């Protein structure tokens, strides 16, 4: 995987926001996101359980690629369910999965995005209980997945524990900020700090076009308790309890639920949940690129955008988890390039 991933001092970004910003570089992992932390662990479990067939769902394609990668490594059959909408907007990842030997099955129900791909994967899983292991990609789904994936992703904060001291001189960070789709990079970033109340934990959801617009994926802001994919958790739904179609510019955050652990952390007020809109995320992505030479994933850009929504002290140590890199998002970035660069960054 290339671990430990660096905890990198972003000096120009720090100047811009007048605080001390450190980036946890999950974008530098093999295959380009934090997803590989989980798939490596789960493929070892699948081997141990004597399974021969691996299935997965994917939104942005990062989890599909990470799963196809470990399947190639272990010589296992790999089937990835992916919504037709996402197949179109994340085509480089579709090609990578195919090159790695995976079969990519298009899903055409619902919004044709992550929720629908997860439905299909769960249908496959319950129909093939003998030979198949389902490598789920986030802290969602039925037990024990939320717990299992959180533990595998907790390597992120396990490394921070020794890195913070090395790079900042402080024992602990003041803030840890991460984006949330299902919530795996966020819980991995928070895990070893949950009992340390001094560390403020910020989870940033995708506001889409705004939480009032109806086109959003901000589950905490707009949802209420419900059941999805085998978990009771906060869920975007109509008055009748029908799941609402989520929307985000970022395929990896386009999910109407959230891992049940986050619902709990929200309820006990240990983690602050907020959201940023598409345009704020785009602007943050271009800002990081121009100030630090790092092109983040659109998902990670949501965490970065929160930096502009809060007043930090000059000496705060602020960690932002860069969950992935932006190669897969170049089509989207290209579409908004002229507008964002001229309007916002001067």
Annotated catalytic residue within 26, 57, 120, 205: 57
Asked if residue 182 binds ligand PLP (CB under 6 A), the reply is yes
Phi/psi for 30 (5° steps) reads -50, 135
- For the chain, the helix, strand and coil percentages under 3-state DSSP, each to the nearest 5: 45, 20, 30
- Catalytic annotation on 103? no
Cα 48 from chain centroid?
A: 27
Tell me the pairing of strands 175-179 and 132-134: unpaired
Q: Where are the alpha helices (DSSP H) in 75-228?
A: 84-89, 91-99, 114-127, 145-153, 155-168, 184-190, 219-222
Asked if residue 256 binds ligand PLP (CB under 6 A), the reply is no
For 202, the enclosing helix (H) or strand (E) is strand 200-208
Evaluate whether 319 touches 185 at the Cβ level (below 8 Å): no
Count residues near ligand PLP (CB under 6 A).
21
Evaluate whether 249 touches 238 at the Cβ level (below 8 Å): no
Tell me the pairing of strands 224-228 and 7-9: unpaired
CB nearer ligand PLP, residue 54 or residue 168? 54
Annotated catalytic residue within 5, 14, 26, 35: 35
Query: Residue 80 is encoded by which pair of tokens?
Result: 């990835």
How many CA atoms are closer than 13 Å to the CA of 26, on its beta-carbon side? 30
Name beta bridge partners: 179.
Answer: 204
The site string for ligand PLP over 112-151 (x = CB under 6 A, - otherwise) reads --------------------------x-------------
Task: Determine which residue in the list 69, 233, 263, 323 makes contact with ligand PLP, applying CB under 6 A.
Answer: 323
CB of residue 341 to ligand PLP, shortest distance in Å: 23
Task: Determine which residue in the list 300, 301, 306, 319 makes contact with ligand PLP, applying CB under 6 A.
Answer: 300
Task: Determine which residue in the list 62, 113, 248, 263 makes contact with ligand PLP, applying CB under 6 A.
Answer: 62
CB nearer ligand PLP, residue 33 or residue 202? 33
CB of residue 317 to ligand PLP, shortest distance in Å: 22
Query: Residue 167 is encoded by which pair of tokens?
Result: 């790079």
For ligand PLP, which stretch binds (CB under 6 A), given 39-47, 58-66, 115-123, 226-234?
Answer: 58-66
Query: Residue 302 is encoded by which pair of tokens?
Result: 């949501």
Report the distance separating Cα 56 and Cα 42, nearest Å.
11
For ligand PLP, which stretch binds (CB under 6 A), given 15-23, 57-65, 238-246, 267-275?
Answer: 57-65
Asked if residue 38 binds ligand PLP (CB under 6 A), the reply is no
CB of residue 237 to ligand PLP, shortest distance in Å: 20
Asked if residue 275 binds ligand PLP (CB under 6 A), the reply is no
Task: Determine which residue in the list 70, 179, 201, 294 makes contact with ligand PLP, applying CB under 6 A.
Answer: 179
3-state secondary structure (DSSP) of residue 326: coil
Nearest to 185 by CA among 317, 316, 303: 303
Task: Determine which residue in the list 41, 64, 83, 183 makes contact with ligand PLP, applying CB under 6 A.
Answer: 183
- Catalytic annotation on 24? no
Task: Determine which residue in the list 279, 283, 299, 316 makes contact with ligand PLP, applying CB under 6 A.
Answer: 299
Asked if residue 35 binds ligand PLP (CB under 6 A), the reply is yes
Task: Determine which residue in the list 14, 19, 184, 216 makes contact with ligand PLP, applying CB under 6 A.
Answer: 184
Could you tell me the CA-to-CA distances from 113 to 11, 89, 253, 324 in Å, in that order?
37, 10, 10, 19
Which residue minimizes CB distance to ligand PLP?
A: 324
* CB crowding 102-113: b at 16 or more within 10 Å, else e: bebbbbeebbbb
CB of residue 272 to ligand PLP, shortest distance in Å: 16
* Active centre residues (catalytic): 35, 57, 323
Contact set with ligand PLP (CB under 6 A) = 33, 35, 60, 62-63, 138, 179-186, 252-253, 297, 299-300, 323-324
């Amino acid at each position: 995987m290339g671990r430990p991933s660096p905890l990198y001092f972003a000096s120009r970004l720090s100047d811009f926001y007048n605080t001390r910003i450190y980036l946890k570089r999950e974008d530098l992992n093999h295959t380009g996101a934090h997803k590989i932390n989980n798939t490596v662990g789960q493929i070892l479990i699948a081997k141990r359980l004597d399974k021969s067939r691996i299935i997965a769902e994917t939104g942005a394609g990062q989890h599909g690629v990470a799963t196809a990668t470990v399947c190639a490594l272990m010589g296992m059959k790999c089937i990835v369910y992916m919504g037709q909408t996402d197949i179109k907007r994340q085509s480089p990842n579709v090609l990578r999965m195919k090159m790695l030997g995976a079969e990519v099955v298009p899903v055409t129900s619902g919004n044709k995005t992550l929720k629908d791909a997860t439905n299909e994967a769960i249908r496959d899983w319950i129909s093939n209980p003998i030979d198949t292991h389902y490598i789920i990609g986030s802290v969602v789904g039925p037990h024990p997945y939320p717990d299992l994936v959180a533990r595998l992703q907790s390597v992120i904060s396990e490394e921070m524990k020794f890195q913070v001291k090395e790079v900042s001189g402080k024992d602990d960070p003041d803030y840890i900020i991460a984006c949330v789709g299902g919530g795996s990079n966020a819980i991995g970033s928070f895990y070893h700090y949950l009992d340390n109340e001094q560390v403020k934990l910020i989870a940033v959801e995708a506001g889409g076009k705004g939480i009032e617009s109806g086109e959003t994926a901000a589950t905490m802001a707009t949802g209420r308790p419900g059941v999805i994919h085998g978990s009771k958790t906060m869920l975007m739904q109509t008055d009748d309890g029908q799941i609402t179609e989520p929307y985000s510019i970022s395929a990896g955050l386009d999910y109407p639920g959230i891992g049940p652990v986050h619902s709990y952390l929200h309820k006990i007020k240990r983690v602050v949940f907020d959201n940023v809109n598409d345009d704020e995320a785009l602007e943050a992505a271009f800002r990081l690129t121009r100030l630090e030479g790092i092109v983040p994933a659109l998902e990670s850009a949501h965490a970065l955008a929160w930096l502009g929504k809060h007043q930090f002290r000059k000496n705060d140590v602020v960690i932002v988890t860069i969950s992935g890199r932006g190669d897969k998002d170049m089509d989207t970035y290209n579409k908004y390039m002229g507008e964002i660069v001229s309007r916002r960054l001067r």
